Chain A
Amino acid sequence: MSPNEIRKGTVIRFDGALWIVTEFQRVSPGKGSSFVRTRIKNLTTGKVVENNFKSAESLDFEDVQYKKMQYLFNDGHLYTFMDNASYEQVALSKEDIGEDIKFLKEGVEVMIILHNGNPLTIELPNKIEYTVAETEPAVKGNTASGNVTKEAKMDNGLVVKVPIFIGEGDQIIVNTDSGDYAERVSK
């Protein structure tokens, strides 16, 4: 397969190991071949590296399956997800999930990535809705710096920079790619 087919969540066999693509970006030097810049995570060791593949290279893609499951709970180490149709459950460790762990909250639906039936990791939806649990009230006139945001803690403990008009109890949508505030949910 060509590296051009790489997407987020693509699993490749490279350097004798399985890697999942967590980020990718096509880049082109202005002249000559284009490249795909990737951030890939080793599925055995969890090590994350950056690698650049030329579009004309040939790369081994591994067949993986995606299954929609709902996050239920964790016991501090294992995180349990359930398929709402079949009630089948799978458990993943903190390390399997990696960075995305801070976005998890009970009830959220994610894609579980399976290889030969074994769960490897999760893929989050692009946007998740949270309730603001804690934040400072807006300080009037504090807009001189042009930086009109403040920190807010979500109902699952996630900390996000939000505009000053957001108050406790508000529902907001967070972009899981960047970890940034996206919008307020209108009531």
Chain B
Amino acid sequence: MKKLLGQGMEEIFTLTKVFRNNEEFGGVHNPEFTMLEWYAQGADYLACMDETEALVREVGKAFGKMFPAFRRLRVRDLFLEKVGLDLDWATKTSLQEACDRMSIHTDLSDTESDLYYRLFLSKIEPELGKDPIFVYDYPAFQAALSKLTPDGKYGQRFELYIDGIELCNAFTELTDPIEQRKRFMSELAERKASGKPAYPIDETLLRLLPSVRQPTYGNALGVDRLHLVVTGRSSIEDVLLFPVSSIFSL
């Protein structure tokens, strides 16, 4: 879709089935699900937050569900509050120290990003509560395709959580082809190192990127999860006609 932006499309969306293999199912996961993706040129991730909130409220209304105020919290503030760690100055050592202090299991092979994510999984995500909350400005090492904040430390990325369920992932798109190539390369190296399939670098995308206006946001929202949230159901199988567990006997 980013290529279409580069070819001059200003505002685009798709609403399609997508597939994720290799994840477990049940709960809020199914290998086949519906994703709404949309992009707009000339607007950044904060504008996208407003739009996402309006969309979710509107869908809620159709189901008779009223949401309380949507809170907006920086990852840095969450870490200050729940972990007592300032991500502005976080290093591998200070992240490791925080894990140890909170008795979180770590591994010798852990990178800065891994340690950060262990803290996020154990201390942040479970504490987000039931009300809608936008978590935003993720550490730069957690934002492959997003533009950085002015201080260069965070990616302009947000996720929306409702009922502790992650509904979407959005960012101000990175439009600098040189920076993008650098991140593709390091991601490729990481995927190879962790034994995941490595995909070739998308040269067409890199060629078209300079034609994309700044800023441009993109968002991907799980429609079945939104369905769960507005109907108050807890398992994705309740909102799918043919969940994988009914197709295969497992």
Point out residues on A near B: beta carbons under 8 Å. 15, 24-27, 29-33, 35, 37, 50-57, 126, 146, 177-178, 180
Contact with A along B159-182 (1 / 0, CB 8 A): 000000000010000000000000
In the complex, are the beta carbons of B122 and A32 less than 8 A apart? Answer: no
Contact of B83 with A by CB under 8 A: no
Residues of the A chain whose Cβ atoms lie less than 8 Å from the Cβ of B122: 50, 52
**Contacts A26-B22, A51-B105, A52-B105; is A31 near B114 (CB within 8 Å)?**
no
In the complex, what's the smallest C-beta–C-beta distance from A139 to chain B, in angstroms? 20
Is the beta-carbon distance between B23 and A26 smaller than 8 angstroms?
Answer: yes
**Residues of B close to A27: CB separation below 8 A:** 121
* 8 A-B pairs closest in CB distance: A32-B113, A57-B107, A31-B144, A29-B117, A52-B121, A26-B23, A56-B194, A51-B105
B152 at the interface (CB under 8 A from A): no
> A33: which of B104, B114, B234 is its contact (CB, 8 Å)?
B114
A-B pairs with beta carbons under 8 Å apart, 14 shown: A15-B105, A29-B142, A30-B157, A31-B143, A31-B144, A32-B117, A33-B111, A33-B190, A35-B117, A52-B105, A52-B122, A56-B109, A56-B195, A180-B235
Complex CA–CA separation, A25 to B25 (angstroms): 8
Asked whether any CB of chain A lies closer than 8 Å to the CB of B79, the reply is no
Chain B residue nearest to A32 in the complex (CB): B113
Number of A-B residue pairs, CB cutoff 8 Å, is 70
Q: How far is the CB of A49 from chain B (nearest CB, A)?
A: 9
- The answer to whether B187 and A31 touch across the interface, beta carbons within 8 angstroms, is yes
Known A30-B142, A37-B121; 10 more pairs at CB < 8 Å: A15-B105, A26-B22, A31-B141, A31-B143, A35-B117, A52-B104, A54-B107, A56-B194, A126-B250, A178-B235
User: For B113, what are the chain A residues with a Cβ–Cβ distance below 8 Å?
Assistant: 29, 31-33
B interface vs A, CB < 8 Å? Answer: 22-24, 26-27, 29, 64, 104-105, 107, 109-111, 113-114, 117-118, 120-122, 141-144, 157, 169, 187, 190, 194-195, 232, 234-235, 250
A35 to B195, CA, bound (A): 14
Known: A30-B142, A32-B113, A33-B113. A55 touches B120 (CB 8 A): no
Contact present for B105 and A32 (CB under 8 Å): no
Q: What is the CB-to-nearest-CB distance from B223 to chain A, in angstroms, rounded to a whole number?
A: 18
Whether B27 contacts A32 by the Cβ 8 Å rule is no
Give the docked Cα–Cα distance between A52 and B106 (Å): 9
In the bound complex, residues from chain A placing their C-beta under 8 Å from that of B107 are 53-54, 56-57
Question: Which residues does chain A contribute within 8 Å of B120, judged by CB atoms?
Answer: 29
Is the pair B110, A32 in contact by a Cβ cutoff of 8 Å? no
Q: Which residue of A lies closest to B22 (CB)?
A: A26
* Distance in Å: Cβ of B16 to nearest Cβ of chain A: 20
* Minimum CB distance partner of B104 in chain A: A52
A32:B142 contact, CB within 8 angstroms? yes
- Are the C-beta atoms of A55 and B194 separated by less than 8 Å? yes
Interface-central residue, B27, B113, B121, B195, by most chain A CB under 10 Å: B121
* A31, A52, A53, A126: residue with the most chain B Cβ atoms closer than 10 Å: A31
Q: Are the C-beta atoms of A32 and B121 separated by less than 8 Å?
A: no
Q: A52–B120 Cα gap in the complex (Å)?
A: 11
Q: In the complex, A119→B187 CA distance in Å?
A: 45
| Chain A contacts for B144, CB-based, 8 A | 30-31
Docked-complex contact B24 and A54, CB < 8 angstroms:
no
Expressed in whole angstroms, the minimum distance between the Cβ of A103 and any Cβ of chain B is 17
Cβ-defined contact, B111 with A32, below 8 A? yes
Contact between A25 and B114, CB atoms less than 8 A apart: no
Chain B residues whose C-beta falls within 8 Å of the C-beta of A53 in the assembled complex: 105, 107
C-alpha spacing A71/B118, complex, angstroms: 40
Minimum CB distance partner of B231 in chain A: A146
Query: Given A37-B121, A177-B26, A54 and B114 touching (CB < 8 A)?
Result: yes
B24 and A26 contacting across the interface, CB-CB below 8 Å? yes
A16 CB to closest chain B CB, in angstroms?
A: 13
Contacts of A146 in B (CB 8 A): 64, 232
How far is B66's CA from A146's CA once the two chains are assembled, in angstroms?
14
Complex interface: chain A residues within 8 A of B141 (CB): 31-32
